[in-house]
Chains A and B, each alone.
Chain A
Amino acid sequence: MDHPPTLTSDLIGRESEVVLFEVERGAIRKFADAVQDQTPECLRGDVAPPTFPTTFRMTIPGLTFDLARVLHGAQEYRYERPLRAGDRVRCRVRVADVYRRKGRLGEMIFLILAMEGTDESGSPVFTGTTTAILR
Chain B
Amino acid sequence: MTGPVLAAQPDRDLVSGSLLPDLRKPPITKLQLVKYAGASGDYNLIHTDDETARAVGLEGVIAHGMLSMAFLGEYLCWLSGPESIRRVSVRFVEMVRPGDTLTCRGRVKERTAAGGGTRLKLEVWTENQRAERVTVGDAEVHVR
Contacts and interface: CB of A to CB of B under 8 A. Distances in A.
A48 to B, nearest CB: 8
Given A39-B3, A51-B66, A34 B36 contact: yes
Nearest to B87: A78
Contacts of B64: 72
A66 to B, nearest CB: 9
A101 interface: no
Interface string A22-57: 000001001101111111011000010111001101
A49 B40 contact: no
A107 B87 CA distance: 31
Nearest to A129: B89
Given A73-B91, A76-B88, A39 B69 contact: no
A82 interface: yes
Interface stretch (B5-13, B72-80, B105-113, B125-133): B72-80
Interface in B30-83: 32, 35-36, 38-42, 44-46, 52, 55-56, 64-67, 69-71, 73-74, 76-78, 82-83
Contacts of B83: 47, 81-82
Given A55-B39, A76-B89, A47 B82 contact: yes
Contacts of A49: 70, 73-74, 77, 82
B86 A79 contact: yes
A4 to B, nearest CB: 14
B19 interface: no
A20 to B, nearest CB: 16
Given A49-B77, A50-B73, A78 B86 contact: yes
Interface of A: 1, 27, 30-31, 33-39, 41-42, 47, 49-51, 54-55, 57, 67-79, 81-82
Given A50-B77, A67-B46, A71-B92, 17 more contacts: A31-B70, A34-B39, A34-B40, A35-B39, A38-B78, A39-B78, A39-B82, A42-B74, A50-B73, A54-B42, A54-B66, A67-B44, A74-B91, A74-B92, A75-B66, A77-B88, A78-B87
